[in-house]
Amino acid sequence: MTEPAARPRLAYHHIPGASPTVVFLPGFASDMSGTKALALETWARARGQAYLRFDYAGCGESEGTFEEQTLADWRDDALDLIDGLIEGPVVLAGSSMGGWLMLLIARARPERITGMVGVAAAPDFTDWGFTTDEKLQLLQQGRLERPNAYGPDPTVYTRGFWSSGEANRLMFGPIPFTGPVRLLHGMRDTEVPWHRTGRLAELIGSSDVQCWFTKAGDHRLSGDADLRLLTRAVEEVIAAC
Protein backbone atom coordinates (compact mmCIF):
# COMPACT_ATOMS: atom_id res chain seq x y z
CA MET A 1 0.00 0.00 0.00
CA THR A 2 1.30 3.43 -0.91
CA GLU A 3 1.88 5.77 2.02
CA PRO A 4 -0.09 9.05 1.82
CA ALA A 5 1.97 12.06 0.80
CA ALA A 6 3.10 14.22 3.70
CA ARG A 7 1.29 17.53 4.05
CA PRO A 8 3.29 20.75 3.56
CA ARG A 9 4.90 22.26 6.65
CA LEU A 10 2.91 25.12 8.10
CA ALA A 11 4.09 28.51 9.32
CA TYR A 12 2.52 29.73 12.55
CA HIS A 13 2.86 32.02 15.56
CA HIS A 14 1.80 30.50 18.87
CA ILE A 15 1.66 32.59 22.04
CA PRO A 16 1.22 30.70 25.30
CA GLY A 17 -1.06 32.21 27.90
CA ALA A 18 -4.36 31.90 29.66
CA SER A 19 -6.88 29.32 28.48
CA PRO A 20 -8.82 29.05 26.22
CA THR A 21 -6.52 29.47 23.25
CA VAL A 22 -7.90 31.76 20.57
CA VAL A 23 -7.20 30.49 17.05
CA PHE A 24 -7.59 32.80 14.05
CA LEU A 25 -8.66 31.29 10.71
CA PRO A 26 -8.00 33.52 7.66
CA GLY A 27 -10.18 33.77 4.60
CA PHE A 28 -9.64 32.35 1.13
CA ALA A 29 -6.21 33.22 -0.32
CA SER A 30 -5.46 35.24 2.82
CA ASP A 31 -2.80 34.67 5.46
CA MET A 32 -1.83 35.23 9.08
CA SER A 33 -0.34 38.68 8.43
CA GLY A 34 -3.73 40.30 7.85
CA THR A 35 -5.00 43.18 9.95
CA LYS A 36 -7.47 41.12 12.00
CA ALA A 37 -4.97 38.35 12.77
CA LEU A 38 -2.36 40.85 13.94
CA ALA A 39 -4.87 42.91 15.93
CA LEU A 40 -5.94 39.81 17.82
CA GLU A 41 -2.32 38.97 18.54
CA THR A 42 -1.72 42.44 19.98
CA TRP A 43 -4.85 42.05 22.09
CA ALA A 44 -3.81 38.56 23.24
CA ARG A 45 -0.33 39.70 24.28
CA ALA A 46 -1.73 42.60 26.29
CA ARG A 47 -4.24 40.33 28.00
CA GLY A 48 -1.98 37.33 28.51
CA GLN A 49 -4.30 35.16 26.40
CA ALA A 50 -3.07 32.09 24.54
CA TYR A 51 -3.28 32.70 20.80
CA LEU A 52 -2.47 30.97 17.52
CA ARG A 53 -2.38 32.38 14.01
CA PHE A 54 -1.08 30.42 11.04
CA ASP A 55 -0.97 30.10 7.27
CA TYR A 56 -2.81 27.33 5.46
CA ALA A 57 -0.74 25.17 3.13
CA GLY A 58 0.05 27.05 -0.06
CA CYS A 59 -0.62 30.42 1.59
CA GLY A 60 1.64 33.05 3.11
CA GLU A 61 4.79 31.57 4.63
CA SER A 62 3.64 27.93 4.62
CA GLU A 63 4.94 25.35 2.20
CA GLY A 64 2.81 23.93 -0.59
CA THR A 65 1.20 25.01 -3.85
CA PHE A 66 -1.95 27.05 -3.46
CA GLU A 67 -3.82 25.54 -6.40
CA GLU A 68 -3.29 22.01 -5.08
CA GLN A 69 -5.15 22.67 -1.82
CA THR A 70 -8.79 22.02 -0.97
CA LEU A 71 -11.19 23.18 1.72
CA ALA A 72 -10.79 19.84 3.51
CA ASP A 73 -6.99 20.18 3.36
CA TRP A 74 -7.14 23.56 5.07
CA ARG A 75 -9.57 22.22 7.68
CA ASP A 76 -7.09 19.44 8.38
CA ASP A 77 -4.21 21.94 8.59
CA ALA A 78 -6.05 23.71 11.40
CA LEU A 79 -6.92 20.44 13.14
CA ASP A 80 -3.30 19.28 13.01
CA LEU A 81 -2.10 22.48 14.69
CA ILE A 82 -4.86 22.44 17.29
CA ASP A 83 -4.12 18.80 18.11
CA GLY A 84 -0.35 19.23 18.09
CA LEU A 85 0.20 22.62 19.71
CA ILE A 86 -2.71 23.36 22.02
CA GLU A 87 -3.83 21.80 25.27
CA GLY A 88 -7.30 22.47 26.60
CA PRO A 89 -10.24 24.40 25.18
CA VAL A 90 -10.16 26.51 22.01
CA VAL A 91 -12.11 29.55 20.83
CA LEU A 92 -12.14 29.92 17.05
CA ALA A 93 -12.25 33.25 15.21
CA GLY A 94 -12.90 32.74 11.50
CA SER A 95 -12.95 35.36 8.75
CA SER A 96 -14.97 34.74 5.56
CA MET A 97 -13.95 31.22 4.41
CA GLY A 98 -12.34 30.89 7.84
CA GLY A 99 -15.87 31.12 9.24
CA TRP A 100 -16.76 28.02 7.21
CA LEU A 101 -13.68 26.19 8.42
CA MET A 102 -14.54 27.27 11.98
CA LEU A 103 -17.82 25.35 11.76
CA LEU A 104 -16.17 22.28 10.23
CA ILE A 105 -13.48 22.26 12.93
CA ALA A 106 -16.10 22.58 15.68
CA ARG A 107 -17.91 19.61 14.18
CA ALA A 108 -14.70 17.58 14.08
CA ARG A 109 -13.56 18.50 17.61
CA PRO A 110 -16.72 19.17 19.64
CA GLU A 111 -14.91 18.37 22.89
CA ARG A 112 -12.25 21.04 22.24
CA ILE A 113 -14.08 23.98 20.66
CA THR A 114 -15.91 25.97 23.34
CA GLY A 115 -16.76 29.19 21.49
CA MET A 116 -16.76 30.79 18.03
CA VAL A 117 -16.53 34.27 16.51
CA GLY A 118 -17.32 34.66 12.82
CA VAL A 119 -16.42 37.71 10.73
CA ALA A 120 -18.43 37.78 7.49
CA ALA A 121 -18.59 34.00 7.78
CA ALA A 122 -19.05 32.35 4.39
CA PRO A 123 -20.11 28.71 4.84
CA ASP A 124 -21.16 26.95 1.63
CA PHE A 125 -19.88 29.73 -0.64
CA THR A 126 -19.00 27.18 -3.33
CA ASP A 127 -22.79 26.87 -3.69
CA TRP A 128 -24.08 30.45 -3.58
CA GLY A 129 -20.88 32.33 -4.44
CA PHE A 130 -20.55 31.15 -8.06
CA THR A 131 -22.80 31.55 -11.08
CA THR A 132 -23.94 28.52 -13.04
CA ASP A 133 -21.50 29.42 -15.82
CA GLU A 134 -18.62 29.66 -13.34
CA LYS A 135 -19.48 26.28 -11.86
CA LEU A 136 -19.52 24.77 -15.35
CA GLN A 137 -16.12 26.32 -16.08
CA LEU A 138 -14.70 24.85 -12.88
CA LEU A 139 -16.05 21.42 -13.73
CA GLN A 140 -15.02 21.47 -17.38
CA GLN A 141 -11.76 23.42 -17.29
CA GLY A 142 -10.70 22.85 -13.69
CA ARG A 143 -9.83 26.47 -13.00
CA LEU A 144 -11.46 29.89 -12.64
CA GLU A 145 -9.84 33.31 -12.29
CA ARG A 146 -11.54 36.40 -10.89
CA PRO A 147 -10.26 39.97 -10.48
CA ASN A 148 -8.77 40.48 -7.03
CA ALA A 149 -9.97 43.57 -5.19
CA TYR A 150 -7.02 43.36 -2.77
CA GLY A 151 -4.04 42.90 -5.09
CA PRO A 152 -2.77 42.81 -8.69
CA ASP A 153 -2.95 39.04 -9.17
CA PRO A 154 -6.28 37.36 -9.91
CA THR A 155 -7.99 35.15 -7.34
CA VAL A 156 -7.82 31.54 -8.52
CA TYR A 157 -10.34 28.80 -7.73
CA THR A 158 -9.84 25.18 -8.73
CA ARG A 159 -12.13 22.25 -9.37
CA GLY A 160 -10.53 20.44 -6.43
CA PHE A 161 -11.32 23.26 -4.02
CA TRP A 162 -14.85 23.72 -5.37
CA SER A 163 -15.62 20.00 -5.18
CA SER A 164 -14.29 19.82 -1.62
CA GLY A 165 -16.50 22.75 -0.68
CA GLU A 166 -19.57 21.10 -2.16
CA ALA A 167 -18.79 17.94 -0.18
CA ASN A 168 -18.58 19.93 3.08
CA ARG A 169 -21.66 22.14 2.91
CA LEU A 170 -23.41 22.85 6.22
CA MET A 171 -26.33 25.18 5.61
CA PHE A 172 -28.91 22.52 4.89
CA GLY A 173 -29.93 21.73 8.48
CA PRO A 174 -29.13 22.18 12.18
CA ILE A 175 -25.50 22.81 13.14
CA PRO A 176 -24.92 21.05 16.48
CA PHE A 177 -22.87 23.52 18.52
CA THR A 178 -23.87 24.56 22.05
CA GLY A 179 -21.22 27.13 23.04
CA PRO A 180 -21.33 30.93 22.77
CA VAL A 181 -21.17 32.39 19.25
CA ARG A 182 -20.79 35.95 17.98
CA LEU A 183 -21.29 36.63 14.27
CA LEU A 184 -20.02 39.97 12.92
CA HIS A 185 -20.99 41.27 9.48
CA GLY A 186 -20.76 44.52 7.57
CA MET A 187 -23.93 45.55 5.76
CA ARG A 188 -21.88 46.96 2.86
CA ASP A 189 -20.27 43.58 2.25
CA THR A 190 -20.35 42.96 -1.51
CA GLU A 191 -18.80 39.48 -1.28
CA VAL A 192 -20.84 37.70 1.39
CA PRO A 193 -24.46 38.91 1.68
CA TRP A 194 -25.00 40.01 5.28
CA HIS A 195 -28.41 38.34 5.53
CA ARG A 196 -26.65 34.96 5.37
CA THR A 197 -25.38 35.57 8.89
CA GLY A 198 -28.94 35.62 10.21
CA ARG A 199 -29.64 32.28 8.57
CA LEU A 200 -26.45 30.82 10.03
CA ALA A 201 -27.49 32.00 13.49
CA GLU A 202 -30.81 30.19 13.04
CA LEU A 203 -29.07 26.91 12.20
CA ILE A 204 -26.51 26.90 15.04
CA GLY A 205 -27.95 24.90 17.94
CA SER A 206 -26.62 27.11 20.74
CA SER A 207 -29.03 29.47 22.50
CA ASP A 208 -26.15 31.95 23.01
CA VAL A 209 -25.77 33.22 19.45
CA GLN A 210 -25.64 36.93 18.64
CA CYS A 211 -25.40 38.69 15.28
CA TRP A 212 -23.61 42.03 15.29
CA PHE A 213 -24.24 44.07 12.13
CA THR A 214 -22.37 47.25 11.33
CA LYS A 215 -24.10 49.37 8.71
CA ALA A 216 -20.95 51.03 7.37
CA GLY A 217 -18.84 47.86 7.38
CA ASP A 218 -17.51 46.18 4.24
CA HIS A 219 -16.33 42.60 3.79
CA ARG A 220 -12.95 43.03 5.44
CA LEU A 221 -14.11 44.72 8.69
CA SER A 222 -10.55 45.89 9.29
CA GLY A 223 -11.06 49.49 10.42
CA ASP A 224 -10.25 50.57 13.95
CA ALA A 225 -13.88 50.40 15.08
CA ASP A 226 -14.28 47.00 13.43
CA LEU A 227 -11.22 45.63 15.22
CA ARG A 228 -12.52 46.89 18.55
CA LEU A 229 -15.77 45.08 17.82
CA LEU A 230 -13.84 41.91 17.03
CA THR A 231 -11.85 41.92 20.24
CA ARG A 232 -14.98 42.71 22.23
CA ALA A 233 -16.72 39.73 20.62
CA VAL A 234 -13.83 37.42 21.48
CA GLU A 235 -13.80 38.69 25.05
CA GLU A 236 -17.53 38.07 25.40
CA VAL A 237 -17.22 34.54 24.06
CA ILE A 238 -14.33 33.75 26.42
CA ALA A 239 -16.31 35.11 29.37
CA ALA A 240 -19.30 32.97 28.41
CA CYS A 241 -17.37 29.73 27.92
Which three-class secondary structure state does DSSP give residue 117? strand
Quick check: is 33 catalytic? no
Predicted pLDDT at 151: 80
Active-site residue identified among 73, 77, 219, 226 = 219
Predicted pLDDT at 77: 98
Active-site residue identified among 77, 124, 189, 226 = 189
Cα–Cα distances (Å) from 47 to 15, 177, 223, 240, in that order, read 11, 27, 21, 17
Predicted pLDDT at 228: 98
Over pLDDT 90: what percentage of the chain?
95
Mean predicted lDDT score pLDDT of the chain: 96
Over pLDDT 70: what percentage of the chain?
98
Distance of CA 32 to the CA centre of its chain: 11
Please identify every stretch of the chain with a pLDDT value under 70, giving residue numbers as ranges: 1-5
Q: What is the pTM of this model?
A: 0.96
Quick check: is 96 catalytic? yes
| Per-residue pLDDT reduced to its tens digit, 82-113 | 999 999 999 999 999 999 999 999 999 999 99
Active-site residue identified among 96, 124, 164, 226 = 96
Predicted pLDDT at 85: 97
Domains and CATH numbers, the chain: 12-124+171-240 (3.40.50.1820)
Q: How far apart are CA 167 and CA 218, in angstroms?
A: 29
Quick check: is 219 catalytic? yes
Closest CA to 41 of 62, 12, 61: 12
Q: How far apart are CA 59 and CA 28, in angstroms?
A: 9
